Structure 1
């Protein structure tokens, strides 16, 4: 374990550096992951997947989006294996490099007369994106939480979650600038590629993390303990599946509503509003940007509140809020038009407020469900399994609407059902860990509990 001098003198600075690195790396990772989804909603359906049917084109385009979500748990499993054995930092650096390379290459996918070639390349690169973001999330969350003071893990852990709204804001700003400055034909032919080339900036970020950020003290303590009394270590992911399968599934079920809610709102509503309501894409992207900008301060606020009142309470309030807002939100989106845009604006702004309560707490909550030796694997697997469900949410939205904008309420019902399942899974977590200190998440109790003994 770390000594008192280190805890008193070094930890505050180390905590700030780790949280800043987590926020920067996740912001760029999510920027890369989200711009693909935005391009799929605005561009790919009319370029690489154009057909006579808008529904088929949208389904084909969003199918490539979903492929990335299928790859995310695989990335989480691989990262968990290496992160629990060799450290959090090297896995995070590798994930950032992989994401930068894969995303920039999307910008070079050719417009070709060979029907299968461009979609095949897109699917391959989207798989790489999924592997990268699946690996990155656990590394960023654990670097932030394991470097944080015991009574501030919720606040510092929330900085890893800031990447979600910041990534959306950055991506939407880039697309807004391009759509405002380029003619429609130019944007569809080559302008959409620029956001993908920008992702190369992640390479120097990876170098800085590798050069200046330390490994977490809790992993160092674990490594020292194993060095003093070597034992044959089993695969971390097999240990998780053997000893904590219920925890992984409950975490995935509890988190699914947040992922579904987010992607139907951030990606699905863009396709719905531009295709069926004929609202200009610049208008839609502007309000999505405003909503996510509002979310940025709300995420650390939720993390701070979880330090005061408990992770599960704040997380549960966010789940309930999303469940209750799902149907009203989509009724308001469906009732919008180019001349009456305020229902869309209210729908997404209230939506991100509800979502922030869960977003700001989920990283720390999931980390606290598992002991240090399998924490990377367990937290990543629970989070990324829920991502598979969320990845198909835009496709499910298209099927529920089925070309008729009057069916928007069905999307809200889908969200309400997912929220109810989330509350049930959270209840399972509460019952499973009732009276056990590692997951209490209140300031006093967390200060008395340690991640590693």
Structure 2
């Protein structure tokens, strides 16, 4: 059953929320980013703008980033690596996709540095511009037939730029929401996480829609470029929304102190434990995400399902996952981040051993049920609260850097897990699913232990972990851990 190597297809759909639904769910007023997060006094509508900006910006950023992911599986192996045999071309194409994930921590460090020194808003405008321009240029790239090996080299370079941009986007988008309001911080910060899968829905629809309109031959010739060229239009929309948001009040209160510091050095010196534990807290969520939304497509097809059957199940489970992300994040404001994340990790550790037997049942309904349970119910327990949790682990002067670096390092799990699991399947044959499930469970247990080691952060006043002049840095840095 495992004699043939798996071809990994990138697909990570999610629910498309209408603008009216988004506006209706956003707060008209909210408390300031100070004091007790459960009882904050009223403030201006800037929170609503900040959350909308974070959500819309995340959708656009991940449309561009994940558009490449889908194209790498269905287009680039034929366009940029056609001189290789099919398997080698697929590996090469997916290899360029992986470079984007490897570049994301660098983006977190670079934009985190300047975001902690100059402000969150400036960096978010820059990351969006960088991503939009890089995606637009991919749409204009000549083919190897026109410029030879410079074509795939330019493709990899632009993919690295995309990775750097998206690596700097997440932390700033989360902080724009989290630092504008501490009340219900888990819910508002999680809109950034909910934007990523919606971006994937749009990118997949753009590619498949273009292919359906122009036909397979024209699509491979020039049609694939259209979704990338659309990025320049989305860039204009995103900048219009983003430029209307003011800088966060939490950063504004410490910006003079922030400019005198080196954020990365501050994180490594005063927050090493929260950083390391933060990576562990997020790792299982990303490994599971890569398994459910990438590896399982190839595996499902290999065991007899049509690709469309698997994608239909993923579409439904992803639509429901948005509700899960927002719902579990809101509950974490009441129950705490730790109980939700730990419960999700432990339940997923058990469910990982039921996942593949359900897929192997041969029933499309059972396959869909497995995806809904895994992606819509359990995974959001681990993933949803991460946005607020990472923001709460670091003080204002280095929060952008610390949160971005922790999240992006753990995010490597989503990029590497499908490749590693495909290699396990090729090497071990019939024992592969047991080993893959055991690996998933091990990462889940690691996440549970790391989360248990952290103190609860949901009641953390973000201004209280800033550093007053002459303050005791190390004592405050230690307050985030047990």
TM range (shorter): 0.7 to 0.9
State the match for 2:18 in structure 1.
Answer: none
Structure 2 unaligned segments of length 5 or more: list them: 1-31, 469-482
Alignment of 1:174-185 (within 5 A): 174-185=206-217
By how many angstroms is 1:393 displaced? 1.8
Distance 2:315 2:232 in 1: 23
**Do 1:37 and 1:267's aligned partners in 2 also have CA atoms closer than 8 Å?**
no
Note the C-alpha offset of 1:165. Answer: 2.4
Quote the residue 2:400 is aligned against. Answer: 376
- Say whether the 8 Å CA contact 2:33–2:180 is kept in structure 1: no
- C-alpha deviation, 1:115, in angstroms: 6.2
Residue 409 of structure 1 and its aligned partner are, at CA, apart by 4.3
| Correspondence 1:74 to 2:98 | no
Length-normalised TM-score, structure 2: 0.81
The structure where helix makes up a greater share of residues is: 1
Which residue of 1 is the match for residue 347 of structure 2?
321
Contact 1:268 1:394 in 2 (8 A): yes
Q: State whether structure 2 residue 152 is matched by structure 1 residue 135.
A: no
Pairing partner for 1:427 from 452, 460, 481: 452
The Cα RMSD (Å) is 2.8
Distance 1:273 1:36, change over 3 A: farther
Cα distance between partner residues in 1 of 2:43 and 2:345: 37
Partners of 1:110 and 1:404 lie apart in 2 by: 41
Deviation at 1:222, TM superposition (A): 1.1
TM-score normalised by L of structure 1: 0.86
Aligned partner of 2:3 in structure 1 is: none
Please report how far the alpha carbon of residue 130 of structure 1 lies from its aligned counterpart in structure 2 after TM superposition.
0.6
Partner of 2:43: 10
Aligned to 1:269: 296
Whole-angstrom CA distance in 2 between matches of 1:102 and 1:279: 36
Alpha carbons of structure 1 residues 53 and 205: separation in structure 2 relative to 1, 3 Å:
same
Change (3 A) 1:421 1:288: same
Q: 1:344 aligns with which of 362, 367, 390?
A: 367
Aligned length: 429
Aligned to 1:155: 187
For 1:265 and 1:51, how far apart are their aligned partners in 2?
Answer: 32
* Shift of residue 256, structure 1, vs aligned partner: 1.1
Q: What is the distance in 2 between the residues matched to 1:239 and 1:315?
A: 27
Aligned partner of 2:422 in structure 1 is 398
The aligned residue for residue 109 of structure 1 is 141
8 Å Cα contact 1:151-1:447 kept in structure 2 = no
Shift of 1:173: 2.7
Q: Distance in 2 between matches of 1:266 and 1:191?
A: 25
| Alignment of 1:440 onto 2:463 | no
Query: Could you tell me how far apart the structure 2 residues matched to 1:220 and 1:35 are?
Result: 35
58 and 400 in structure 1: CA distance in 2 versus 1, 3 angstrom threshold? farther
Q: 1:277 & 1:188 partners in 2: Cα distance?
A: 28
Partner of residue 253, structure 1: 280
